[in-house]
Structure 1
């Protein structure tokens, strides 16, 4: 498994400090983020799942703790919109250039607004997908927000 992905190349280019952690990805896991947290031996609140959604028809990248679910109403409000819905997996893959289970907020094909659940900011370091199934990137949540030009909001 390669530890160099479009996500890590994006972080390297930006000079962001991070660590790559790998784990045995289970394609049959009910909840991939929870499986990643368990495999890495970290609390699920520190593992942020990367979700792709649409708010009023426009794409948005959403980062939420693996043990929480996004409120579509809160997501729409955080983006200044009226309605939000999750992207279909096939559309998320086409849009980001990553496979489901390996979608990273870094190095996506197109830059989109990014919203992180504010609960993530309570942690010194969090994990986000590294752009490949079984690869997680550990970094400071504030660094992730700055690089992604994202914002934090209550999403759950």
Structure 2
């Protein structure tokens, strides 16, 4: 299958990041469990891209292992803000330029700070959205820190 040229793929190429494309049958509300099952990998090495906002409505990205959730309380504490919550789907799409289920941290419409769960770096290869539903890219997780200038955090539960 031909690699779609999404904003994420253009960004990966611009940064010289080696990646391997993977396609799967997208299921609405299937999340990382479906993509992990379809690719035959464990869910913890599939990374979800979450668009959140602080109490001032400033957007941010949290990259989290597929089998974990973000502790919103710990994230707010880390950011020294009252609260952090997930953006509504239409707001997330406005910030990222991607549809929910196809959100990548690469090539977002708005530049947002990126926070990366520390456990992601334990893997040699991770699978993250390539900017389209049903399309993941496999890459070295340390590239996330380098290319996205991600801050490493421990907010997974």
TM-score by length of 1: 0.93
Aligned length: 154
Question: In 2 relative to 1, CA 80–142 (structure 1 residues): closer, same or farther, beyond 3 Å?
Answer: farther
Structure 2 unpaired stretches of 5+: none
CA RMSD of aligned residues (A): 1.3
Aligned to 1:33: 32
| 1:69-120 superposed Cα distances (whole Å, 9 cap, x missing partner) | 1100121233343321111111001111110000100000011000011110
Aligned to 1:22: 23
Query: Does 2:9 correspond to 1:12?
Result: no
The 5 Å alignment of 1:134-153 reads 134-153=134-153
Q: Kindly report structure 1 stretches of 4+ aligned residues shifted beyond 2 Å.
A: 77-82
- Deviation of 1:122 after TM superposition, in Å, equals 0.7
The 5 Å alignment of 1:1-156 reads 2-29=3-30, 32-57=31-56, 58-156=58-156
Structure 1 unpaired stretches of 5+: none
